[in-house]
Amino acid sequence: MSILQVRDLNVVLSGLSILQGVSFDVAPTGVTVLLGRNGVGKTTTLRAILGLAPGIGSVTFDGADILGRRTHELVQKGLGYVPEDRCVFAGLTVAENLRLAERTKNSAYELVFELFPELKKRASQRAGSLSGGQQQMLALGRVLLTENRLLLVDEPTKGLAPKVVTEVADALARVAVRVPILLVEQNLAVVRRLAGDAVVLAAGQVAWTGGASELLSDHDLTKSLLGVGSHS
Amino acid sequence: MTYLRRYWPFGAVAVLALLPYAGVGIPGVFDGPLNSPGTLQLLALCLLFGGLATGYDLLFGRTGLLSFGQALFVALGAYGADVLITKAGLPLALAAPAAILLGTTVAAAIGAIALRVTGIAFAMVTLAFAQVGAILAARDAWGLTGGDEGLALDVSGLPSGLVGVVNTYKLYWVSLAYLVIVMIVVRRTVSSPTGRVLAGLRDDERRVGVLGLNPYAFKLFAFVLAGALAAAGGVVHLLLVQGADPKIAGSELTLSLLVMVVLGGPGTRYGPLLGGVLYTYLDYRLTHVAGGLPGPLKQPLFVLGVIFILAVYFFPGGIAQLRLRALRRTL
Amino acid sequence: MSTVVLLAVTGLGLSALYFLIASGLSLVFGLADVLNFAHGWFLTVGAYAAYWATPKVGFAGGVVAGVLAGAGVAALVELVMIRPLYKRTIAQVLVTVGLSLAGVALFQALFSPDARIFPSPKWTQQVVGFLGARVPVKSLLLIAGAVVVLAALLAFLRWTRYGLIIRAGVENREMVTALGIDVRKAFTLVFAIGGAAAGLAGALGGVYFESVSPTGGASLLIFAFIVVVIGGMGSITGSAVAAVAVGLLQQFVNYYGSAGAGDVCAVALLAIVLLTRRQARQA
Ligand SMILES: Nc1ncnc2c1ncn2[C@@H]1O[C@H](COP(=O)(O)OP(=O)(O)OP(=O)(O)O)[C@@H](O)[C@H]1O
Ligand SMILES: [Mg+2]
């Protein structure tokens, strides 16, 4: 039984057909990774699931059809979103960024500060003045404050230093124990470490699904689907 | 049938051109017979505003630019020609092109600055620039504009054929000619390769950028062309009402152009024309006939404002779209 | 010297009026992307409410009536007219344009197109000594009103949850919804806040101009737009600074230069800001 089922998802943006009949399932535990070359529509897929991009087709989350529902309702139902490029509120302090994400009184601050002690230290610093890695921790931290039943995480390691990539991957690994994650990730080392299932998009459609390790162990397959070697 | 479709505009222009020879009246629609000076004056205004709205639609409906500055260029045409004729004693044949040139130049300068911002900020900035024109007109700048009263046109500088009530029909022809010219210019522009780029800008600016074309240059072109057409319309307005006053420079004029375009159907061939004619006619009729109506209905702008709001909700394509739908149903 | 003080105070009075209008416009635009042409009409509604209520319940009551009327009408407009057009930015602008036209005409029909004398209390029409100059009380009243509103708005934005949502929403509205927050509720709120400030501007502006007229709001609106663009959309502090700059510039240039030159200077300032801001971005 999967937590999220995407069936025949189509997205048209300013007259361009971006996704054409995308279908895949997200496992109820662990990390499902969404792969594909640049510009293939990974972000658009996540946005359509969340109602941030106009989608046609069907998306079932925990048994309920959610396509076309308003974004904030879906998030309240337990769909957490960590967007590409982090999107922290630059003009707000770290504490305010976190406070904004609170939904109930007993927010999981202990968990967040344990994962990212840096956030506690920098509570009164403006988020815009954080480093990229710290901003990513803030973006992850603010969804972890609340109860989620599925996290949609878009390229959390993009543009980060290798040491920070490891930190973020560690955090994701720990989170994945409790909440399933649909992860978009270009860094294959991180994919290899985290992912159970993999879904590969090409030309607006699903080109391959299966186990992530199976995909990564096949050098030619990886090369043809992603345009990169798996030994990086 | 295809002949009819192709050539009916020529027929329509011919009929309109012959109206001054029609001694019949349309009771309930016009007060006097069609060729009475009062009716011809109203018709001339309708045609003029049809043309002004069509020119404005080059920005709004065709390029997707929401400019609130169009009144400035109309005013530059009207005041420019007025000052040159009345204060400097130039003949109309010189004053009119000079005023249009003035309007075009100012449009280029303002467009160059205002187009540095996009969307709503562009709307605000054009509004602010146009406000300078309104202020200068109302404050009698340099003793030229006549302040609140406006500047009456010194008709001794005009060809005698354009002066006096008996010659209203010639001014009507001038309006008709203006409308025809605007229609042709807009039509040509829209169907040219440039026009297709403008449509692309309206639909999605990024796509045009991707093609390696410079959106700024194309938008500036549309802005300047629309400014030139507006200035020419200003000159016609000057002739029709024999003067220029601050109303023509105010933001209300731009807003009413916007209302005309939206009512008629933005981005359609005849929509803005229809909207302009209808708006002008209703504005006039409601002002002069509304004596018997209760309360706010006496105020033409109240009625037009409400119709406009309803139009935005219920028929966003304007009259042109309604007509199309009705046509499709009958065919 | 006393002339300079007088000009500074009257200029700041004008700034205060601009700020009261611009702050609401700026918030509404910053958060909801709505360029609200009807905002000037909210001011007119407030002015007429104060005009109507002052003889019955006194000046303070009149001001309260103006504020409430402005807030109420603005919230209603958002709920009934703006909300159905969510995300259709241009259609929203068009609707507010229609409302501004119809609203002014409605007041012309209800109250006659002519200006009416505002029932200002006597004390507001006097002058007091201030730094060696005789300055009008009504300017000081406006300045006090604007300072109170500025402080209240900043406190609201800084300390309340809705203030936090609004500040975040001005930055990135979509991301606010992606945190599970219904940002549209905040739209109604900023409309109401902006309407309240405009209503206050209407009541105090009635005192300042000693009259109310159906078109009064619309003519102030354009300068408020200039203030919003210069100050940066969505920024209250920016609006305050820009309002002070525009009001003072206008007053001083209008006094020392020819009539109307100050108004033109305000637009010139806008052009300069636009041109240099662009360069700053490119650098
Ligand atoms: N609003 C839009 N209008 C038109 N096209 C868009 C829009 N947003 C995205 N696109 C296009 O849709 C395609 C998919 O974009 P998307 O961001 O989903 O890709 P992605 O797989 O996440 O890429 P990346 O790996 O670079 O993050 C791209 O070609 C992009 O140019
Ligand atoms: Mg992406």
Q: Is B66 within 8 Å of chain C by CB?
A: yes
Query: Which is higher by pLDDT, B30 or C55?
Result: C55
Which residues of chain B make contact with C91, given a CB cutoff of 8 A? 312, 316
**Nearest-atom index, ligand 1, CA of A41:** 18
Query: Which is higher by pLDDT, C147 or B172?
Result: C147
Q: Contact at 8 Å (CB) between C277 and C65?
A: no
Distance from first CA to last CA of chain A, Å, rounded? 34
Query: What are the 10-residue block averages of pLDDT along chain B, 331 residues in total?
Result: 72 72 71 75 91 94 90 94 86 90 95 85 86 82 78 77 75 90 92 85 72 84 95 93 86 89 88 91 77 70 87 80 65 54
Pick the closest to residue B234 from B215, B247, B217, B252 (CA basis).
Answer: B247
CB-CB under 8 Å, C267 with B309: no
DSSP A146: S
Of A112-116, B24-28, C65-69, C183-187, which gets the smallest average pLDDT?
A: B24-28
Highest mean pLDDT, choosing among A214-228, B246-260, C6-20: C6-20
Residues 6 or more apart from B325 whose CB is under 8 A from it?
none
> In which band, very low, low, confident or very high, does the pLDDT at C282 lie, cut at 50, 70 and 90?
very low
* Separation between Cα atoms, residue B2 and residue A68, nearest integer Å: 45
The mean of the pLDDT values for chain A is: 90
The pLDDT tens digits for A27-49 are: 999 999 999 988 899 999 999 99
Q: Which residue of A has its CA nearest to B201?
A: A14
pLDDT confidence of residue B108: 95
Neighbour count for residue A217 (Cβ, 10 Å): 12
Beta strand C133-136 pairing with C127-130: antiparallel
The mean of the pLDDT values for chain C is: 90
Q: Any idea where the domains of chain C sit in the sequence?
A: 20-217
Q: What is the arithmetic mean of pLDDT over C44-63?
A: 94
pLDDT confidence of residue B283: 84
Residues 6 or more apart from B100 whose CB is under 8 A from it?
B77, B228, B231, B232, B235
Pick the closest to residue A203 from A23, A5, A54, A37 (CA basis).
Answer: A37
Residue nearest to atom 25 of ligand 1 (CA): A38
Q: Contact at 8 Å (CB) between B203 and A15?
A: yes
**Nearest-atom index, ligand 1, CA of A47:** 18
Q: Is A14 within 8 Å of chain B by CB?
A: yes
Chain mean position to CA A188: 15
Cα separation values, A118 from A83, A99, B179, Å: 20, 16, 69
Pick the closest to residue B162 from B248, B229, B91, B228 (CA basis).
Answer: B91
Q: What is the arithmetic mean of pLDDT over A108-114?
A: 89
Sign of CA dihedral A194, A198, A202, A205: negative
Which residues of chain B make contact with A15, given a CB cutoff of 8 A? 203-204
- Closest chain C C-alpha to B254 CA, distance in angstroms: 11
pLDDT confidence of residue A229: 55
Q: Residue B156 corresponds to which amino acid?
A: S
Indicate whether C280 pLDDT > 50: no
* Separation between Cα atoms, residue B110 and residue B230, nearest integer Å: 14
pLDDT confidence of residue C279: 47
pLDDT confidence of residue B324: 65
Which residues keep their CB under 5 angstroms from ion ligand 2? A 43, 84
Query: Which is higher by pLDDT, A111 or B158?
Result: A111
* Separation between Cα atoms, residue A129 and residue A138, nearest integer Å: 12
Neighbour count for residue A219 (Cβ, 10 Å): 11
Q: What is the arithmetic mean of pLDDT over A122-143?
A: 93
Q: What is the CATH number of the domain that holds B252?
A: 1.10.3470
Indicate whether A200 pLDDT > 50: yes
Domain hosting B114: range is 2-330
* Separation between Cα atoms, residue A48 and residue A99, nearest integer Å: 26
Query: Which is higher by pLDDT, A147 or B329?
Result: A147
pTM of the model as a whole: 0.86
Ligand 1 geometric centre to CA of B291 (Å): 59
Nearest to C168 among A81, A100, A146 (CB): A100
**Residue A155 burial by Cβ neighbours in a 10 Å radius (0-12, 13-18, 19+):** buried
Q: Order across the sheet with A150-154: list the strands.
A: A79-82, A150-154, A181-184, A31-36, A195-202, A205-211
E strand or H helix at C83: none
Q: What lines the ligand 1 site, CB under 6 Å?
A: A 13-14, 16, 18, 36, 38-44, 84
**Look-up of token digits 């969505």:** C234
DSSP A128: G
